[in-house]
Each structure stands twice: as structure tokens, then as C-alpha cells.
Amino acid sequence: MSEQNEPNPKSAEALQNRVNKALIADGYTLLNGGVDNIIMIRGTKGKKKGDVLMTFEGAKEMVEQLASETTPKEEASND
């Protein structure tokens, strides 16, 4: 029997609240030239605006971590 993780209702509610308040990324800029390549991601939601600065290596690590936590989609069989 496969075991499935049921989300904790309090955790699920807290996550939903964070998602509802999140700014949606609408662009990015790569700032080259220094020791670290910096990525600036900007987001807006209504009149609110925000920027996130991170290194390229940090962004790459984040993408790899998120990809490892997702379940890959099953490929459709062409038989």
C-alpha cells in the first residue's frame, strides 16, 4: 500500500495565505560584471511592487531543489 502525505490543515492554511499575498514575478534582469552574477526578479500585485536579488548559483540551486521535490509527469504512451 502506498503511503501519501496528508498536509497539516494549519500548514496548508498558512501556505495558502502566503500564496494569496505573494507578488507575481513579471520580469527579471541579469546584472553581470562582478564576481557573482546577480539576478533581480521583480514582481507586482496591484500597486505593490517588490524586487528579489539572488546570485545565479543560488537561483540554480533553488530550481534544482524545487525540481527534486516535484513528481514528474508521466509520459503518454504512443503504443
Residues 79, 73: Cα–Cα separation, whole Å = 18
For residue 16, being part of any structural domain is answered with no
Number of domains in the chain: 1
Which residues make Cβ contacts (< 8 Å) with residue 44, sequence separation at least 6? 23, 24, 26, 50
**What is the bridge-based pairing of β-strands 38-45 and 24-31?**
antiparallel
Query: How many whole angstroms from its chain centre is CA 43?
Result: 13
Q: What share of the chain in percent tops pLDDT 70? A: 77
Full residue range of the structural domain in which residue 62 is found? 23-68
Q: Among residues of the chain, what percentage have pLDDT more than 90?
A: 16
pLDDT tens figures, 63-74? 999 888 887 665
- In this structure, is residue 52 part of a structural domain? yes
- Name residues of the chain where pLDDT drops below 70: 1-7, 33-35, 72-79
